[in-house]
Amino acid sequence: MPEPVLQCAGLAKAYRSAAGLIEVLRRVDLAVAPSESVSIRGASGAGKTTLLQVLGGLDRADRGELSWSGRRVDGLGASALAGLRARQVGFVFQNYQLMPELDARDNVALAGRIAGASSATARARADALLGLVGLSARARHLPAALSGGECQRVALARALVNRPPILLADEPTGNLDEATGAAVMDLLLSVCRAEGTALVLVTHSADFARLAGRQLVLRSGELTPA
């Protein structure tokens, strides 16, 4: 069996509120193989976004172990974690999070530059990925001139610019109509296959969840098979 590109054991996360301590994640165990696709569903407020943020190192668990490509990362300092995350993990968010003043090509290339690639290398990779997602002709357009589906395709290209072994997608079709969402979902899965990238997808859609190779549900702070 290949070594998991993403693995966690016993992840727990709680928040304090006026009502007291709220346990969002109680004990999450997960192992994702290279190129595998995994979907996670759950009720509103179940902690799906929190889980994705913890898995991607954007938030820290209160306890438990987290590894990327066989390396423990839960104990890393903020700077070391950020540097490793730029190379190991790509993110696709519901609201795209594109820089409004940059065109599609520069939005994608920026992620490569942040990770240390030269300007020429980052732009060449951006051009290749925009071609892969069908946006070569829109590369010089600002986000305001793009449709929602086009913005999400730019976001997908940006997430893959550093060839991360892991892609985390948080409701990537949530802001799109049904037809556009289905097209983006098909593209997400096909591009991840083409790039050899493992995908962990959070979605409210049962139909989209079933497209993943493995389906899980987050309930009572734990992951169980769907």
Domains in the chain, CATH or no CATH each:
34-61+77-225 (3.40.50.300)
- Cα separations (Å) of 30 from 7, 39, 186, 194? 6, 12, 24, 24
Q: CB within 8 A of 220, min separation 6: which ones?
A: 26
Q: What is the pLDDT of residue 201?
A: 97
> Cβ contacts of residue 85 below 8 Å, gap of 6+?
56, 57
Predicted model pTM: 0.94
From CA 27, how far away is CA 169, in angstroms rounded?
Answer: 21
Specify the pLDDT at position 1.
64
Coil, helix or strand at residue 19: coil
pLDDT at 213: 96
Half-sphere exposure of 26 (CA within 13 A, CB side): 9
**Mean pLDDT, consecutive 10-residue segments, the chain of 226 residues?**
92 90 94 97 93 97 97 96 94 95 97 93 96 96 97 95 96 92 93 94 94 96 95
State whether residue 45 is helix, strand or coil.
coil
Q: Alpha-carbon distance 91 to 103, whole Å? A: 19
> How buried is residue 224: exposed, middle or buried, by Cβ count under 10 Å (0-12/13-18/19+)?
exposed
Show the tokens assigned to 103.
Answer: 């065109």
